[in-house]
Amino acid sequence: MDESEFHDRVDDLLLALEDAVEESGADIDYETAGGILTLRFADGSQIIVNRQTPVRQVWVATRSGGFHFDYDEAGDRWVLEGDGKELFAALSEWCSEQAGEAVTLEP
C-alpha cells in the first residue's frame, strides 16, 4: 500500500470510529485533530488512535498499554499485530474497561 492509500484508509477508519462511538450510546467524548482520534472517558482516562505512516500502522494507546494494528487487505480490516484481533473488537473491550460499561463499536 502506498502512502496516499494508507492515509485514505486511516482517514476512513477515523471517521468510522467516530460514527461507531456516536452510535454506541456510551458516555465517551471524542475529538479528531491532526489525524489523531482522542476518546475521553468520565474517569478522565483516554484512548488515543493515530497513524504511523512510516510503518503503515495504526497505533492505539490505552490505559493498559500500546497496540499496533496492520491493515489486512484480504479481510479489508485493521488487525492487531501478532494477535490478529480486529480493531473495532479490541477497541470495544478497551472502551468497556475505561467507560465502566459495556461498549460495542461496530464498523
Condensed to tens digits (0 to 9), the pLDDT of residues 43-52 reads: 999 999 999 9
Q: Is residue 104 part of a domain?
A: no
CA-CA distance, 107 to 89, in Å (whole number)? 9
- Per the CB < 8 A criterion, the answer to whether 92 and 105 are in contact is yes
Q: State the DSSP H helix or E strand holding residue 47, giving kind and residue range, or none if neither.
A: strand 46-52
Residue 94: inside a domain: yes
Asked if the model's pLDDT at residue 1 lies above 90, the reply is no
**Quick one: pLDDT at residue 104?**
94
Number of domains in the chain: 1
> Going by C-beta distance under 8 Å and a sequence separation of 6 or more, which residues neighbour residue 105?
17, 20, 21, 24, 88, 91, 92, 95
CATH number of the structural domain spanning residue 68: 3.30.920.10
Write down the pLDDT at residue 94.
Answer: 96
106 within domain boundaries? no
Which band of pLDDT confidence, cut at 50, 70 and 90, is reported for residue 105? very high
Give the range of the structural domain holding residue 21, as residue numbers without chain letter.
Answer: 3-99
pLDDT of residue 68: 97
Q: Please tell me the pTM assigned to this model.
A: 0.92
Query: Which three cell numbers, joined as nine digits, stand for 92?
Result: 470495544
Q: Is residue 107 part of a domain?
A: no
The alpha carbons of the chain give a radius of gyration, in whole angstroms, of: 13
Residue with cell 459495556: 102
**What confidence category does residue 86 fall into, taking pLDDT thresholds of 50, 70 and 90?**
very high
Using the predicted structure, report yes or no on whether residue 40 has a pLDDT greater than 90: yes
CB distance 107 to 23 below 8 Å? no
